[in-house]
Amino acid sequence: MKKLIKRTILIGAFFLVSGFGSLYLIQDEIIFHPDTAYKSPIEIQMPEFKEVTYPKKDLSNGFGWYFKGNKNKPAILYCHGNKGQIALFAPLLKPYLDMDYPVLMVEYQGFGILPGRPSEKAIIEDAVAGFDFLKSQGHSKIILHGFSLGTGVVLGVAEKRTASAVILEAPFFSLYRLADEKSVPFAQFFLKNPFMSNKRISKVNVPLLIIHGTGDKVIPFQHGQDLYQLAKEQDKSFISLPNATHHVFEFGSYDKIQDWLHDRFEQTS
């Protein structure tokens, strides 16, 4: 009987470890959903954007779409979500182009035309390289704008570079918390890319805007609220969009962003 119990425990432990091992190996595929069928600005009828490459710390090249805009206005560094590629998100930034804000959309490793595999460290470095590119083009003021997963990316950039403002659309507290809420067992033991936005946001010391939809089923509304409470910056704003889903841009988020930017930057641009 004791041998049977021991054998049962060993078999159970084997399958448990195997299960967690499998989760560890495939978690990148769970988090990141790149579209590698690249589309150019011309193909999506946004010729205002120009394809640019720039050096990275690892001596490879970063890649993005750049709109030169008005050099007297702050530049926008945009980091997209965990799906698709920059071509999918570029049309959302039309309001920035209409306001003549310089814009750089950075692409992540493994997305679109870029080789490699995405990871928290890798895509934050992609975005940091984009920030440095904007500096090299003479942009003294840079606003970091992230959507969904991109909010974790821009907060990573804000740790390493001095931005002029930070905009977070549908942000998450951390991937640890999100995994726990999605009932992923023992996520804290195997999550390779935790994206601890809750730790990073306290270091933001520039104007901060957080926008979240109350009907967000992907990243619960409470994540945005809790990040806002942790932020120490005095000039911080939280805008809730009633009944808005995760795609807050479909519920007027850019109208709110334009007003917020106008109040802080248009007067002095």
Mean pLDDT over the full length of the chain: 88
Question: Is residue 4's pLDDT more than 60?
Answer: no
CA 103/CA 101 separation, integer angstroms:
6
| Averaged pLDDT, 179-197 | 74
**What radius of gyration do the chain's Cα atoms show?**
20
CA 97/CA 49 separation, integer angstroms:
9
pLDDT tens-digit map of 190-211? 678 889 999 999 999 999 999 9
pLDDT tens-digit map of 206-246? 999 999 999 999 999 999 999 999 999 999 999 999 999 99
Question: Is residue 175's pLDDT more than 60?
Answer: yes
CA 207/CA 231 separation, integer angstroms:
10
pLDDT tens-digit map of 62-94? 999 999 999 999 999 999 999 999 999 999 999
Domain boundaries, the chain: 32-266
The angle formed by the CA atoms of residues 54, 30 and 19, to the nearest 5 degrees, is 135
Q: What is the pTM of this model?
A: 0.88
> Which fold would CATH assign to domain 32-266?
Rossmann fold (3.40.50)
The beta strands (E) that lie in the chain are given as: 33-34, 50-55, 61-67, 75-79, 83-84, 103-106, 142-147, 165-169, 208-213, 236-241
CA 267/CA 261 separation, integer angstroms:
10
